[in-house]
Structure 1
Amino acid sequence: MLGRAVRLLATLLLSVIVAVAVAWAAMAIWVDGPHQRVIAAPMAAGLVIVCIILAAIVRPLLRGLTVAIFPVIIVALWWTAIPASNTRDWTPEVARTARATFNGSRVTIENVRNFRYRSETDYDQRWETRTYDLDRIKGVDLFLSYWGPTEIAHTIVSWDFDDGQHLAISIETRKEKGESYSALRGFFRQYELYYVVADEHDLVGLRAKYRGEQVYLYRLRATAPQARALLIDYLHEVNQLADHPEWYNALTQNCTTTIRGHTQNIGVGGSLDWRLLANGHLDELLYERGQIDTSLPFADLRARSNITEKAKAAGDSPDFSARIRQGAPGISS
């Protein structure tokens, strides 16, 4: 009796695993397979049919389910071999990749984006070369930008230097001309991973003023050495991507899970938490962990951290970064 119960449980569990795997493989063919849907659709359907037949005709059922997974493995091997590229017809805002050159404590970064916007789609392109002294880093900040559902936000990390400079880096998808973001396609191999290395006015001002997003700013409780190590780790990845492009993934390589990877690299990453995926609650998680200002009740902190109107009012001001930080909790003037 016990043996039958164990086999039944194993069969049910393996059935679920195979069903999920087959569904993923069919979607991978549909999304990342031949561009012609008239070809991709029959291929995806054919995979499902083959897996069902294998599971049905091979006995016992546990063996049939095991055999049915082999077509999925073939699809997975093909899918993981799809190469990312840096040579596509990119949209202008992601057309160039940044590159950092280190010389002692100083780092020179090529292709820092500093566009001047008249609207989200109308702008003057400005790619700059800037030099920063890593010894002058005094803090690191996190921006959360909400464009719709409050369960999900976009995250931007920015470094504060004591000479008044700020450097922001946003981890995004690198889109081709005529391409738009799809949440479903983001789980497959449709977008390259892209680090926007930019002026805060570009990244934050664009989202607050022209995209109509709600933007929040939090000073992270990190020491200057930790902030420095984090930036260096980011810039090493920037250089890596310039030479060896990688795929973005909405689950494993997104704007927040990738940040956690960088913090783990420098030894300060926290444990996994559901709010790393539902990252609209990331500030709540950081508050609970004492990684942002906790001198105020969380609701008050959040209200005072909303810098949307400040960013809109700052416009093209050269002191944009200073103005959005006025009165921000945890940030000394």
Structure 2
Amino acid sequence: MALAIAWNSFFTLLTVVMAWGTAALWYRLGLASPWRQLVVGLWGVLILGLVTLALQGFRGAALAGQSLALLVLLTWWFRLTPTHDRPWADDVNYLATGEVTGSRLTLHHVRDFDWRTRDDATVRWETRSYDLDRLDSVDMIVSSWGRPGVAHVMVSFGFGGEDFVVFSVEVRRLRGERFSEIGGFFRQYELAIVATDERDAVRLRSNVRGEQVSLFRIAMPRQSMRSLLLAYVEEANQLAKAPRFYNTITANCTTLVFAMVRGIGAGLPLDYRLLVTGRLPSYAFKVGGLWPGYSLAELEIQGRIDQQARDAHDVPGFSRRIRQGVPGWEERGASSGPTPPI
């Protein structure tokens, strides 16, 4: 009896792995239609055939068939490797890299696009330099598009309330390709770390895509700001040397940042909101990372900047305009106020 239960459990486990393989083939098999659909269909027929064989009492043959099929599938799966050499979409065509000389940070391939539609922009990639001694603010920018709990999170570093650079961990899509959250589980995309001008990053989401965008000033000591910025640069440099796959759970816009923040010594607890990215502000509030003196509701209401971004579309001082009234920025506009420690 115990042997039969163990066999059934093992066979069921292998069947579940084969079912996972159906999705892996659908999202990652590099065949054009209709050949990809044909292979996926044949794989599904194989799963049903092996289950039927087991139910008819041919357990050994069914288990051998599953083992052989999974050996072939997993050999293919683990031989998939990320690459930098593909026809990338314009906005992720280059990855950020940087180096520090003294107190001067130089970033290469800073994106400064002038967006007209989500697929059309004046393309500009620049090399920019920043004075680390003037680094005095960190903001979390959260953009959501109507899917419950789903959002994109970026981090903006400010220098004297005048210069800002945004780091965004993104899917590195092919030209003309759309993002699929499900495809992100199956090695469909490579990972990108992009440095952008703040006007580019915010306007793309608020003005062009019509998303809801919020800005939260982070309460962080200056030394921690510097450590986090340099952690971003180091992570970006490593990614430029060795490509990685994006993963909807393990390598995305929040989990990488969480790992970097922990890496600079912040003792942050694990929490489900690290995966439900739309809830990340409540997590940051819980651990004391948002600007003090306000409730979470006040921070969320006063931090909405999408209308301000639309109003400030092409006017000078974009970064100052979108911060008007945002907690932590309300008293001195875009000049940094006191920076309380976490």
Does 1:273 find its partner at 2:271?
Answer: yes
Q: What is aligned with 1:286?
A: 284
Q: Would you say 1:124 and 2:118 are equivalent positions?
A: no
In the TM superposition, 1:111-150 aligns within 5 A as 111-150=109-148
Aligned partner of 1:37 in structure 2 is: 36
Give the aligned residue type for 1:24.
W
Counterparts of 1:290-329 in structure 2, within 5 Å, are 290-329=288-327
Which of 21, 27, 31 lines up with 2:23 in the alignment? Answer: 27
CA distance in 2, matches of 1:181, 1:15: 34
Q: Is the partner of 2:281 in helix, strand or coil?
A: helix
Q: Which amino acid aligns with 1:188?
A: F
Matched, 1:159 2:157: yes
| Letter aligned with residue 122 of structure 1 | D
TM-score with structure 2 setting the length: 0.86
Q: How does 1:189-204 map to 2 (within 5 A)?
A: 189-204=187-202
Give CA deviations for 1:101-156 in whole Å, capped at 9, x if unaligned.
Answer: 22122121111001112333332111111011222211211011011123111101
Asked if structure 1 preserves the Cα contact closer than 8 Å seen for 2:92 and 2:173, the reply is yes
More off after superposition, 221-230 vs 264-273: 264-273
CA contact (8 A) 1:293 1:330 kept: yes
* Alignment deviations for residues 225-254 of structure 1 (CA, whole Å, 9 cap, x no partner): 111111111111211222221111112111
Cα distance change of structure 1 residues 15 and 286 upon mapping to structure 2, 3 Å threshold: farther
Distance 1:218 1:163, change over 3 A: closer
CA-to-aligned-CA distance 1:41-99 (integer Å, 9 cap, x gap):
2453265257647866346xxxx879946643553343132121212112222222222
CA distance in 2, matches of 1:229, 1:278: 26
Secondary structure in structure 2 of the residue aligned to 1:110 = strand
Q: CA deviation at 1:215?
A: 0.4
Correspondent of 2:219 among 206, 218, 221:
221
C-alpha contact (below 8 Å) 1:209/1:311 kept by paired residues:
yes
1:247 is matched with: 245
Is contact 1:111-1:128 (8 Å) kept?
yes
- Gaps in structure 1 of 5+ consecutive residues: none
Amino acid at match of 1:27: A
Partner of 2:167: 169
Q: CA separation in 2, counterparts of 1:7 and 1:260?
A: 44
Percent of aligned pairs sharing the same letter:
36
* Letter in structure 1 aligned against 2:44: A
Where does structure 2 lack aligned partners over 5 or more consecutive residues? 333-342
Query: Could you tell me the TM-score, scaled by structure 1's length?
Result: 0.88
1:88 and 2:86 are equivalent in the alignment: yes
Q: Secondary structure at the match of 1:217?
A: strand
Q: Cα deviation per residue 1:148-191 (whole Å; 9 max; x = unaligned)? A: 12311110111111262111011111111221112221211211
SS class of match (2:117)? coil
